[in-house]
Structure 1
């Protein structure tokens, strides 16, 4: 059995805690506290990490870590990045500037993205369709980042599983070329 460390990061309220809890086979560990940031309309926020586990069909285990979304907790991003094999960036398309949000995570996880696999998943597109997936792809291309961009509803377990499968396919492809 091989264990893989996978990170979920992204904006506050994008669904990191929800995504992990939807697929975890163990009770999800969360470090949610009452939100005191008045600019965020959410009752609680992650200040440390989220953690869950998922066993793949081949017996390999995914150790799933969710990072805090707020920039003021970005010191945790570097800590949680150590040993990670991949990153799923969740973007909430309700944000006033989702592409700027994406930039914050591209900058914050630059080393991990350069060295490992990454998937960008955009949520709430059904109610906030702009910017569209094509805009995210063009933005990544302009920054020289090659990774898939997909719409997602993290409340749907099957869609979270698809994100993880997409990330694992990238990891396999990367290993085959090295």
Structure 2
């Protein structure tokens, strides 16, 4: 059996934990605690170490999903979790004040692996309208400016098929090897 470790990262409240809960067929391990900083304005609980879930796709493929904490003060976990990664999913909140800046931040934070493993960008909470299409084009431009290769997809992480689309883009990439 081939084990594939995929990291899901992005800002607080973007849907990392939800994506893992939606897709995992095993019991999800989380490290949520009551938010004690400005995060509590967004949500009551927050991930402080990681979320973890797995899915066996077929007799030869098992995917391990690791969700990073969104708060920058827990960035030491980003370093720990990226070791052995075979792919990176960056979630961006379409309703954020500046989704392009969020994407730049995470592409920079994971710069050491973005050219070594497949990367896909998931735009969550996006209405399907002209403004969203323009934002996707802007995000794709940010990816190019940062020297990365990544497809930008509109997703709803509450839908299994959408999370599956992100994971499959990683698994079927030509650039599949661990860092």
TM over 0.5: yes
Query: What are the within-5 Å matches in structure 2 for residues 1-178 of structure 1?
Result: 1-38=1-38, 40-126=41-127, 129-130=131-132, 132-170=135-173, 173-174=174-175
In structure 1, what is the Cα distance between the partners aligned to 2:59 and 2:150?
25
Matches of 1:61 and 1:35, distance apart in 2: 32
119-128 or 157-166, larger mean C-alpha shift: 119-128
Where do 5+ consecutive residues of structure 2 fail to align?
none
> What is the CA–CA distance in structure 1 between the aligned matches of 2:176 and 2:23, rounded to whole Å?
25
Instruction: Tell me the TM-score normalised to structure 1 length.
Output: 0.92
Distance 2:155 2:34 in 1: 26
Structure 1: gaps of 5 or more residues? none
| 2: CA distance, partners of 1:127 / 1:75 | 35
- Taking structure 2 as the reference length, what is the TM-score of the superposition? 0.91
Deviation of 1:118 after TM superposition, in Å, equals 0.4
SS in 2 for 1:163: helix
